[in-house]
A = this chain, B = another copy of it.
Amino acid sequence: MRNNNRKNDEMREVKVTKNYIVHPEGSVLIEFGNTKVICNATIEEKIPRWLKGTGSGWITAEYSMLPRATHTRIQRESIKGKLSGRTMEIQRLIGRALRAAIDLEKLGERTIMIDCDVIQADGGTRTASITGAYLALELAVERLIDEGKLKEIPIKSKVAAISVGKVRNEMLLDLEYEEDSKADVDMNIVMNDKGEFIELQGTGEEATFTHSELLKFIELSKNAFDKLFSL
């Protein structure tokens, strides 16, 4: 039985607090159950060097966890002097997911940087981050429209993400930490509100999954996307 009598195909409660922090151009506190992520969007009127002169903008993301977001304390990456592979992997994923949501040429030669800082972790931090980051990005884009810096909304589609996994032969939606740590297969699915895939990452850590399991995982995720796109 899952915590709180949750069904296998049931998502945890999702809460969104907009304008959570006052300074950013877009700010959202997103909660997937006990997982809480602050997503802050910063607009910078400059672009990476390799984009200069192309007329195109850029979206990128950074991800971090407070040392005590987790059950046992993890050392700060600023003290270690470098990012872990896990952090790099996640922030590259968030960035790619958001760039698929936006027409970068319509954005113009500016960068929107999204900071996702996990203040409390209970599984699904990368999917909560992508979903919250998209909402912070929307707020930042609205600000650009309001300030007259953009005439046209550059958003092509909404973006959200959810995890599915196989735990003791049960197919589960939206794994919390206790489930995730026991999962044989773990899949993160990023979709847009047209039902298209943006990213699909399935991993059998010391296990495997079949073609028919892949199809079931995808089926299972649909419940979540309906809910997430109604936010």
Q: Is A117 an interface residue (CB 8 A)?
A: yes
Q: Is A104 an interface residue (CB 8 A)?
A: yes
Q: By the criterion of a CB under 8 Å from any partner CB, how many residues of chain A are at the interface?
A: 65
Q: Is A205 an interface residue (CB 8 A)?
A: yes
With the chains together, A12 CA to B67 CA distance in Å?
29
Q: Which of A142-159 contact B (CB under 8 A)?
A: 157
With the chains together, A113 CA to B119 CA distance in Å?
17
Q: Which of B23, B66, B83, B209 contacts A196 (CB 8 A)?
A: B209
CB of A204 within 8 A of CB of B211, answer no
Q: Is A51 an interface residue (CB 8 A)?
A: no
Residues of B close to A10: CB separation below 8 A: none
Residues of B close to A209: CB separation below 8 A: 196-197
Smallest CB–CB gap between A73 and chain B, Å?
4
Q: Is A68 an interface residue (CB 8 A)?
A: yes
With contacts A81-B81, A198-B204 taken as known, whether A67 is within 8 angstroms of B115 at the C-beta atoms is yes
With contacts A88-B88, A196-B210, A205-B99 taken as known, whether A81 is within 8 angstroms of B79 at the C-beta atoms is no
With the chains together, A53 CA to B214 CA distance in Å?
35
With contacts A21-B120, A100-B206, A206-B100 taken as known, whether A78 is within 8 angstroms of B83 at the C-beta atoms is yes
Residues of B close to A62: CB separation below 8 A: 67, 76, 79
